[in-house]
Structure 1
Amino acid sequence: VTSGICSAFAIVITCIRLYMRRDRFWWDDACAFLSMIFLFVQIVSVFMHVPNPRVLSHMDNIAAYYLMAATFYAIIWTARLAILYSVIRIDPDPRTRRILHRIAIIFIVILLIMIAQVLWVCEPMHDWKNAASPQCPLNKQVAICQLVTDILSDGLLIYAPLRLIWGMDAIDGTRRRLMIIFSTCIVTTIVSLVHAAFILTDGGIRVVIAAIVEDTFSLIVCNIPVVVTAIMRKYGKNEEESDHARQS
């Protein structure tokens, strides 16, 4: 239920974003689209694994778990890449843009490492694979790595737009977008803290639920700046046209 409701909202807002950006499609939109595709894969793996694991073979259940784990990281980090590329797209400083491009590469490397970490932590352990609904008991190593990378990356995604805000006029539409990015990234950090806490306390199914919520929030957050800014721009334009009509 959690997966269906949260994912549906995230997918809808992503589709709205892609529709609004259809004439100006860029890397940030591509990353948001890719994150949505990973979310579709995760939905399939969740409904394969959680509701009735006896429907699948033992190996299929294990594969479904690994698929859930891999798509968890893929959704989050491609969503972060979408935010990062949104900042790159609107940053006028070529030097800063080059730095942020390099950070994007680091994000991709972190994604691959986090997925690999699940394998090297879970594969040596065999007991969890014998459960009816296999779920690897992730250790403190995973929780700490996830927590550190989440805080650092989200902190960067807060700082990057913040440094631009200081030099902008209050009426600048770009500043509104950056303020939205600044505020919404904090939500992802809070959710990731809850997820890490469940991992540390061996939360069982709560780990899966928290992961789904974190995924969907990450995808929603990366779309909010684009969608809200487009709505504000359209609303402002309509207001301006109404003012002109009244003056005429």
Structure 2
Amino acid sequence: MLTVDVVHDAGIALFTIATVITLCRLAIRVHDGLLCWDDFWASFSIASGALMLTGVLIITHPTASMSQLTVVTAYYLADTGFYACVWSSRFSILCTIKRITPTYDNWLRAMATAFFAMWLFLTTQAIVHCEKHPEWKTTTLQCPLGKNVAIAQLTTAIFTDLILCLTPARMIWYSDLPMPQRVRLIIVFSTCLLTTVTSVSMVVASMSVIVSFAFRLALMWCAPELADSSSRGDQTVILTSVWATRDVENSAAKKSNVLNVEGRPDSCVLHAKGSQGSTSDSSGSAV
């Protein structure tokens, strides 16, 4: 039976899992020197989730000393925090797709604009609806959103999750990548559909980095020589968290302008600068 205590415990447990996974993702990216905008949005999602959880905990366990204004504010905090958490996670997934499909840059920019518009619309719709029916502030202290809000949420969720799954489909379909790497990409992007069913956006947003890191660990365990070459950058670029050889990078840069002169993705504006110098020095000494 769904009770207040169940909601309380489930909220804390799920947020803890999402936070741990996202922190692991950020640690991997910092270690690899590949912090980018998708990591920023993942971090923003965690911060938004913390605000949402704070509001939920106040709503589910209000104390006698709390005023009506405090509980109403907590409700709005939970409501806006929920939208911010889910949509920033989708932005993180969209930025990940942009890093591996730069040829769709204009399309992805348009989708980012549409995502932001839907985020703003849903947040505004919920607030306006609750302010038009203020009786909840003196009774249940929780705003009944109604059918229209539910339909808007479901429609936008299905639309955005389908976009996040289908956008990379063309790249995967026409790529000449080995089967294990294709499977890895399919697993990563098919998990986007989970956001429609269970709203685990923060977990899904970090799946690309976690799966990539797990793939490298599997190589280290099963084929150390391949793992060693992977760590030096001797495998084909799939996700930008996997290193690539200079020959492959230069070839990709000529064909699709994915990489800049230093061998890093152009879209990765937050990555660490120090790793470039060390890479150049090691290459020069090897020659």
Provide the TM-score with structure 2 as the length reference: 0.71
Instruction: Report whether the alignment pairs 1:152 with 2:159.
Output: yes
Instruction: Report whether the alignment pairs 1:162 with 2:169.
Output: yes
Between the aligned partners of 1:13 and 1:80, the Cα distance in structure 2 is 16
Distance 1:137 1:57, change over 3 A: same
Residue 182 (structure 1) shift: 2.8
Would you say the 8 A contact 1:154–1:185 is kept in 2?
A: yes
Would you say the 8 A contact 1:173–1:229 is kept in 2?
A: no
Q: Which has the higher contact order (CA 8 A, sep 6+)?
A: 1
Instruction: Report whether the alignment pairs 1:72 with 2:82.
Output: yes
Residue 71 (structure 1) shift: 0.7
Would you say the 8 A contact 2:42–2:205 is kept in 1?
A: yes
Would you say the 8 A contact 2:45–2:202 is kept in 1?
A: yes
82, 98, 101: which one pairs with 2:109?
101
Gaps of 5+ in 2: 1-8, 229-287
Give the CA RMSD over aligned residues. Answer: 2.0
Would you say the 8 A contact 2:48–2:84 is kept in 1?
A: yes
Residue 172 (structure 1) shift: 6.6
1:108 match: secondary structure? helix
- 2:97 equivalent in structure 1: 87
Aligned length: 218
213, 222, 227: which one pairs with 1:239?
222
Distance 1:41 1:153, change over 3 A: same
Between the aligned partners of 1:82 and 1:231, the Cα distance in structure 2 is 20
Between the aligned partners of 1:164 and 1:233, the Cα distance in structure 2 is 22
Would you say the 8 A contact 2:219–2:226 is kept in 1?
A: no
1:63-92 deviations in whole A, cap 9, x for unaligned?
100110001110110000111110000114
Instruction: Report whether the alignment pairs 1:111 with 2:119.
Output: yes
- 2:253 equivalent in structure 1: none
Q: What are the within-5 Å matches in structure 2 for residues 1-150 of structure 1? A: 1-22=9-30, 23-93=33-103, 96-131=104-139, 134-150=141-157
Q: Which moved more, 1:100-109 or 1:4-13?
A: 100-109
Gaps of 5+ in 1: 192-213
- 2:243 equivalent in structure 1: none
Distance 1:125 1:189, change over 3 A: same
Q: Which moved more, 1:229-238 or 1:20-29?
A: 229-238
Specify the structure having the higher radius of gyration (Cα): 2
Of all paired residues, the percent bearing the same amino acid is: 33
Would you say the 8 A contact 1:176–1:229 is kept in 2?
A: no
What letter matches 1:17 in structure 2?
Answer: R
